[in-house]
Each structure stands twice: as C-alpha cells, then as structure tokens.
C-alpha cells in the first residue's frame, strides 16, 4: 500500500511574510493529516522554511538544481547547497523548465542523477503538451521522458524517485485531467516501469499534477494508480493545501 504524498510547488511566489503565514498555517493542520506532505519552495526561502519546520512532519524541497556539483555556473545552485539548507526533495523536469528554459530529457536525467547522488529525492515531472494529447502521442511522450531517466540512472534508482505526471495542458489552466484520463496514463507509466522491474513499478509513487484543487483532489487520489498530487496554485493557501492533503 503506497502512502499518499502531497507536494506543494510554490513556483516563483512568496515573500518572507507570506512564507511565515503559509508555513504556520500548514503546520497547524499537520496533526490531522495522514499523507506525507512536502513543500517545494524558492531557493531564498529554504533556510526560513527549514527553521520553521524543524521537529515537524512537514518536509522541504527545492524546485530545481544544477547538474554540476560546483564551479563557474553563475546564478546556478547545486544539489549540495539545497541539501545544506534543509531540502530533502527537489522537483526536476517540471514542464516550465522544459519549455521555458529548454531543459532536454538528457539534462533532466543528469539532474536526477546528481540529486540521487546527494541523497535528495527527485520529484521527477513528465507530461504531454495539448497538441501531443490531441494527436494521440501521450504514451510516446511519457515513455520517452521516463526511459531517458531509466537509461541514465537505472530502474533500481526508482526506489528513490517520485514521479509526477503533469499534463502540460492542465497546469495552471484550471482544466484538470478527468480521473479516468489521469488514471489511464498513470497505469501506463507504471506498466513502463514494470517492463523493467515489477516490484519497483508497484512501489513507486506517481503523483498527479495540473489544476488539482480541494474540489477534485479526492476523486483523483482515489484512482488506483494515483498516489497523491503535485499542487501549484492551490498550495499557496494553507486551507486549500490542507484540504487536498486530507483528501489522501
């Protein structure tokens, strides 16, 4: 039985004051939640969130990292640095990174590798564009994205990887995949992993992301192969985020 995982992706939102209010709000609700809960915050707030969440069950992640360990990479942040500031998780391969910053499957696989080498759990994101869904390419696209990482780090590494299936057309649009659409793709992703290792395929967490909110979370998470959510917009309000956490 896979425990539900709910992760917030704050994206480029926040201020010291907002972070304080949001984290304290989430912490108040934590005793009533059985899901594993993670917040993935912008780099500058990692330290603040680390301090606020000490001795709590709330876990902390970053939203990106550089695939190199250190060096002349102006403006970049390494796996070691985010770990130093309390992150145990890191989002890798989010569609905004893939489309706005040109991150290829190869770069993403390298980032997954360095995260694992630093004992960070990647929240590895995959998902198809609207055009790809319309033309029946969803499975080809997610297979390509997943296989790039399997080829780089091996199937065994998926014991320490969380997958987030986020159809790009559902991110930030208010259009959510129907539970059936999401379940079908989640089951397909699990079957891809099963071609390599049946036990790992059964144990890996596959989260759904894309306009998940308090109204649709329960029905999505109830699907057999949906093990929780990666939440953008609705993770910025503690009440909304907590009610999604309770849906698990």
Q: Calculate the CA 210 to chain-centre distance.
A: 11
Q: Considering the complex, state which of residue 189 and residue 201 has its C-beta at the smaller distance from ligand PGA.
A: 189
24-52 residues labelled b (16+ CB within 10 A) or e (exposed)? eebbebeeebebbbbbbbbeebbebbeeb
Residue 229 CB, nearest approach to ligand PGA (Å): 8
Q: Which of these, 105, 109, 200, 120, lies nearest to 153 by C-alpha position?
A: 109
Residue among 138, 211, 216, 238 that touches ligand PGA (CB under 6 A): 211
Tokens found for residue 18: 């907002």
Phi, psi of 120 (to 5 degrees): -100, 140
Instruction: Determine the interface stretch with ligand PGA among 99-107, 115-123, 186-194, 205-213 (rule: CB under 6 A).
Output: 205-213
Instruction: Determine the interface stretch with ligand PGA among 58-66, 113-121, 166-174, 190-198 (rule: CB under 6 A).
Output: 166-174
Q: Considering the complex, state which of residue 52 and residue 220 has its C-beta at the smaller distance from ligand PGA.
A: 220
Could you give the angle at the alpha carbon of 100 between the alpha carbons of 143 and 133, nearest 5°? 40
Instruction: Determine the interface stretch with ligand PGA among 69-77, 100-108, 135-143, 224-232 (rule: CB under 6 A).
Output: 224-232
Annotation says 205 is catalytic: no
Annotation says 166 is catalytic: yes
- Cβ contact 161:202 at 8 Å: no
Q: Considering the complex, state which of residue 99 and residue 202 has its C-beta at the smaller distance from ligand PGA.
A: 99
Dihedral of alpha carbons 201, 123, 94, 10, sign: positive
Residue 22 CB, nearest approach to ligand PGA (Å): 15
Summarize as ranges the residues that interact with ligand PGA (CB under 6 A): 9, 166, 171-172, 209-212, 230-234
Give the residue numbers marked as catalytic: 94, 166
């Amino acid at each position: 039985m896979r425990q539900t995982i709910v992760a917030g992706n704050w994206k480029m939102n926040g201020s010291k004051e907002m972070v304080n209010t949001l984290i304290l709000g989430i912490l108040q609700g934590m005793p009533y939640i059985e899901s594993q809960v993670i917040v993935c915050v912008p780099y500058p707030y990692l330290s603040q969130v680390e301090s606020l969440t000490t001795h709590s069950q709330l876990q902390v992640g970053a939203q990106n990292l550089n695939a190199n360990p250190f060096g002349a990479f102006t403006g970049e942040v390494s796996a070691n640095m985010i770990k130093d500031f309390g992150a145990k998780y890191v989002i890798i391969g989010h569609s905004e990174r893939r489309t706005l910053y040109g991150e290829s499957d190869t770069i993403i696989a390298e980032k997954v590798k360095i995260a694992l080498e630093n004992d960070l759990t990647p929240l590895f994101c995959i998902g198809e564009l609207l055009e790809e869904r319309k033309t029946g390419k969803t499975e080809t696209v997610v297979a390509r994205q997943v296989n790039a990482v399997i080829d780089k780090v091996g199937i065994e590494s998926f014991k320490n990887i969380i997958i987030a299936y986020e159809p790009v057309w559902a991110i930030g649009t208010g259009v959510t995949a129907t539970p059936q659409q999401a379940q079908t793709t989640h089951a397909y992703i699990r079957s891809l992993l099963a071609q390599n290792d049946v036990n790992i395929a059964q144990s890996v967490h596959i989260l759904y992301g894309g306009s998940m909110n308090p109204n649709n979370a329960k029905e999505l998470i109830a699907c057999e192969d949906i093990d929780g959510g990666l939440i953008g917009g609705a993770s910025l309000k503690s009440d909304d985020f907590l009610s999604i956490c309770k849906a698990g």
